[in-house]
Chains A and B, each alone.
Chain A
């Protein structure tokens, strides 16, 4: 460690020197190239130092090539091989016609790699690109190397970009806090800078304050630490809440179709998970077709998959209802068994057609990446899924409230016999309900293809959770399903940090089992005599 820090000190010094033109000597640079050709780690280390000390114009390019193993040396020549295969003279950066014979890549060991890292850090602080300067400052912030302090100070003085300046100041503060011989006033100011930054790294840096620091310093540090901890706890809660909402929206998508069929027909459709799976595989097929035929449309693949998945799953659902379930009216437990059988058949059919392994479903551009709000990391795909779940929920609500078929569905939910007596064709309502519920499951499949493995078992992993959501939420009320899904999602994620993922889930299952005892028909159950009839 001492050696490394010593080296870095030298590099820092060198970089400082590099700020003052005219000190460089051509001789030193020549020695650097000789040493690069010597094929010994210590020579290579020295060569890197020399390049920086002498502010060689090609220093950055050479060190980067070295790090990537694209620096070749031997027989008095040192060349850089670019990623596209061109050969450049390392000294001048000009292209060579042919690769000189007898060259071998300059080898690296961990010592050399460390030297390279320090050198790149020092180089990066002075990089013309502000983004590079910021990431270099971040690296220094983490390494907290005292040797880089002078370089930092120089860089801060020169800096014009506000963001880069803040990053450099934070790096400087990180070093100052731990530097016992720095002026106390500067160190207290540094603590303030870190407190301002307020993240996990700042906290770690503050904790590195030496134990023998003055009481004033310690007090300032203590206040900053607790302030940051408070803030971080809030952010963490926020992050968990976000994860919870995200999980809740996934649960909502998976369960809401089930809630509709269960509400209207009193039937738990065990093949519901497989409708989700069909939706996911529909997305996969759409993307395959787009990839091979119309690559330009890839960003619209999900948009195209949404109606198709709805139709595929919905039609399969109607087929199941007409082909099996309608023969089992009034026998909900038998229906449960028959639909389980159908789920086995569908799983095996998909396994036969697409193989048992996971299928790759890509994310369109607008769904990849993440945005950071303060300490919150929000991935675009999760955000879109929440939006999508909201849209699906609103659409279903509108269908149930505003359309004639919705009115008929609600009538059948509340009193099947009465609805039938009033001329509602309950058979048709059942088929359409089942189609709608299954179609929505297909939509869930499109969303899940973005965050989960698309495999024949996809549905199985969601079916029990979906049951829990429906049973917890109660029948005949979509809002119940919404609240239930969100409650379970958030509770799950809030429990996770304390109990771990598995125990948290077990706790929730036990909670629901106990909850059902208290309210056997869920949070929002229909009441009255009709229910028991």
Chain B
């Protein structure tokens, strides 16, 4: 009965999530564009962009929850996939600047002119086309995840070891993207964007459209992740999380299932990054910093891993708190708060906000009907 109940409950939660995101996706741009600036109902463009950023993080969190919450792979390098998607979008936006850059070169972005480069590197070819760039938003992180995962899962690197090498992966990329000769703008990254699909990225209407697009992608990402999770494949993946070797003895090729989930998740993170860049206006190597990836993990933990909705919730809650904290006199204490959050959540709230709330609610309804299993081991 519990399973049916849980599933139903999940669906309700899912519908609620979908309804809220859809409502935000429609209402916020409307309140921004149609309501005059003086009105109390008006949503300023800056607020909209800020929340657009939160929603990108929410998508990133859902992608991480897919691998960590359901498959038990604690990736400390998901920021790398996010950043790669962001760079793919950034490269498109750079090409759109055309001859409007400081140096007025119609083909080369400013930083290449500055470095005295004579022609566009081959890996920049095609990025002037939007469809190609969008393909790369999926392919660049997806391919990296596929290659990395193909090696790692086949040789059964698990647990802490896997976490550490995902961290090494994003660290190596951080170092690489800092180099000027890589051709991605080095330290400064890509910025000073002008147009997206012919619309000015700074314009209010474009911002509103980007915001709505983020909501659409968040819904799509959630539905895909949920579809995977509730399918039989999802059951296999959870089985892998809880008893990997048992799953193998049932005849499932554990490495392929992990690889599938990991790659899908990386593509999703890439999309989040691609939506993030035009709304924030810059992408630079600091997005690869290992600390960013670990922060993403804490969003998922705070919201409740293995719930998808919780991951998105956690991303928004933590980032909203961060904005509030770091903009006031409390700014120097943000790192204390964040650090304490890591400790508190892992010790006292292993199921996160959503899991804990659900537990409390269940207890109220039926006081302990059957023994529930112990929380899943992390490995």
Contact = CB atoms under 8 A, between A and B. Distances in A.
Please determine if A and B sit in direct contact within the complex, based on CB atoms under 8 angstroms apart.
yes
Interface of A: 262, 266-268, 324, 327-328, 330-338, 340-345, 347-349, 352, 464, 467-468, 471, 502-503, 505-506, 509-510, 512-514, 516-518, 520-521, 532
The list of the 3 closest CB pairs from A to B, nearest first, reads: A341-B342, A344-B339, A345-B339
Interface string B367-379: 0000000000111
16 contacts: A267-B160, A268-B160, A330-B377, A333-B74, A335-B346, A336-B74, A337-B297, A338-B346, A341-B338, A344-B336, A348-B335, A352-B332, A467-B167, A471-B161, A510-B172, A532-B245
A154 to B, nearest CB: 53
User: What's the dominant secondary structure at chain A's contact region?
Assistant: helix
A532 B171 CA distance: 29
B265 to A, nearest CB: 17
A513 B350 contact: no
Contacts of A333: 74, 159-160, 163, 378-379
Contact of A337 (B154, B346, B379): B346
User: What's the dominant secondary structure at chain B's contact region?
Assistant: helix
A506 B161 contact: no
Interface of B: 74, 148, 151-152, 154-161, 163-165, 167-169, 171-172, 175-176, 178-179, 245, 290, 294, 297-298, 301, 332-333, 335-336, 338-343, 345-347, 350, 377-379
A516 B154 contact: no
Nearest to A338: B346
A328 B342 CA distance: 13
Contact of B154 (A512, A517, A521): A517
B155 A517 contact: yes
A503 B177 CA distance: 11
B134 to A, nearest CB: 28
Contacts of A338: 342-343, 346-347
A336 B298 CA distance: 11
B165 A516 contact: yes
A491 to B, nearest CB: 15
Given A333-B160, A516-B157, A509 B168 contact: yes
Contact of A345 (B178, B332, B335): B335
A332 B164 CA distance: 12
Contacts of B340: 341, 345
Contacts of B333: 348
Given A332-B378, A334-B378, 15 more contacts: A331-B377, A331-B378, A332-B379, A333-B160, A333-B378, A333-B379, A337-B297, A342-B343, A348-B335, A349-B336, A502-B175, A510-B172, A514-B151, A517-B154, A520-B158
Contacts of B290: 464
A471 B172 contact: no
Given A347-B335, A348-B336, A348-B339, A513 B165 contact: yes
A244 to B, nearest CB: 19
A345 B157 contact: no
A513 B150 CA distance: 12
Given A520-B155, A520-B161, A464 B336 contact: no
Contacts of B350: 331, 334
Contacts of B297: 337
Given A464-B290, A509-B171, A517 B341 contact: no
A405 B179 CA distance: 48
Contacts of B339: 341-345, 348
B187 to A, nearest CB: 12
B144 to A, nearest CB: 12
Contact of B342 (A340, A471, A514): A340
Contacts of B245: 532
Which of A268, A337, A352, A514: most chain B CB closer than 10 A? A337
Nearest to A330: B377
A518 B165 CA distance: 13
A528 to B, nearest CB: 15
Contacts of B160: 262, 266-268, 332-333, 336
Contact of A268 (B164, B171, B338, B379): B164
A484 to B, nearest CB: 13
Contacts of A471: 161, 164-165
A517 B342 contact: no
Contacts of A337: 294, 297-298, 301, 342, 345-346
B177 to A, nearest CB: 10
Contacts of B336: 344-345, 348-349
B342 to A, nearest CB: 2
A520 B154 CA distance: 10
Nearest to A334: B346
A463 to B, nearest CB: 9
B262 to A, nearest CB: 15
Contact of A344 (B152, B156, B342): B342
A345 B341 CA distance: 10
Contacts of A502: 175-176, 178-179
A506 B175 contact: yes
